[in-house]
């Protein structure tokens, strides 16, 4: 498998990642997810200040092929979105963990992090998906 799945991130089964810094998190989609979607041409973002429960759809990611919902991996409030994506949506394909991050959130409940996958567990999940 050629996908980049960094060890320092937590993952959701629906292919989102989160980087934790104190009680804030940066979220985005994984390398596997961007590859499955193909060329991303638009992201419909939520408003800063909106609050969501874990697993709720907060954005829509439009690729040439299809539209996919982006689910927030843990409950929280949007405190920043990545404006660069409006001008250059291809950053999500080119740099899904760095320049292509989608939003910064304030976590509502730190204990929800325990429900997320480690990089090892997420890799096992995508290996299974690739076999099916």
Partner 1 sequence: MNTSDLRKTPLNSRHKEIGAKMTEFGGWEMPVSYEGIISEHKYVRDVAGVFDISHMGEFLLEGEDVKTLLQTLMVNDLRLLEPSKGQYSCICYENGTVVDDCIYYEENPTTYRMIVNASNREKDFKWINSHIDNLEVTIKDLTSERSRLAFQGPKTDELLNPLTDIDVSDINRFYFRKCKLDGISIFIARTGYTGEKGFELSASKDNIEDIFNKLLDTEAKPIGLGARDSLRLEACYSLYGHEISDKITPIEANIGWVVKQKDDIDYIGKNILLKQKNEGTSRIIVGLTLKDPGIMRQNYKVFVDGKEIGYLTSGGYSPTLEKSIGLALIQSEYNELEKEVDIQIRKKMKKAEVVSTPFYQNV
- Residue with Cβ nearer partner 1 (6 or 38): 38
Shortest Å distance, C-beta 88 to partner 1 = 12
Residue 65 contacts partner 1 per CB under 8 A: yes
* Among 23, 39, 80, 84, interactor with partner 1 by CB under 8 A: 39
DSSP character string of the chain: ------TTSEE-TTSEEEEEETTEEEEEE-HHHHHHH-SEEEEEPPPTT-EE-TT-EEEEEEESS-EEEEE-SS-EEEEEE-THHHH-TTHHHH-TTTTT--EEEEES-GGGGGGSBPHHHHHHHHHHHHH-
Residue 60 contacts partner 1 per CB under 8 A: yes
Residue 20 contacts partner 1 per CB under 8 A: no
Site for partner 1 in 98-117 (CB under 8 A): none
Shortest Å distance, C-beta 35 to partner 1 = 9
Q: How far apart are CA 102 and CA 28, in angstroms?
A: 5
* Among 64, 111, 128, 131, interactor with partner 1 by CB under 8 A: 64
| Token pair of 128 as six digits | 């299974």
Q: How far apart are CA 4 and CA 31, in angstroms?
A: 6
Question: How many binding residues for partner 1 (CB under 8 A)?
Answer: 11
Residue 120 contacts partner 1 per CB under 8 A: no
Q: For binding to partner 1 (CB under 8 A), which residues are involved?
A: 38-39, 41-42, 44, 60, 62, 64-65, 67, 86
């Amino acid at each position: 498998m050629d996908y980049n799945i960094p060890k320092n991130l937590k993952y959701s089964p629906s292919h989102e990642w989160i980087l934790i810094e104190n009680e804030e998190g940066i979220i985005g989609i994984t390398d596997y997810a961007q590859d499955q979607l193909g060329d991303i041409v638009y992201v419909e973002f939520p408003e800063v200040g909106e609050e969501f429960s874990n697993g709720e759809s907060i954005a829509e990611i439009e690729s040439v092929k299809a539209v996919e919902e982006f689910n927030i991996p843990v409950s929280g409030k949007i405190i920043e979105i990545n404006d660069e994506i409006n001008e250059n949506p291809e950053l999500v394909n080119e740099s899904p963990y760095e320049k292509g991050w989608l939003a910064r959130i304030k976590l509502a409940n730190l204990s929800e992090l325990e429900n997320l996958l480690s990089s090892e567990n997420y890799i096992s999940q995508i290996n299974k998906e690739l076999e099916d």
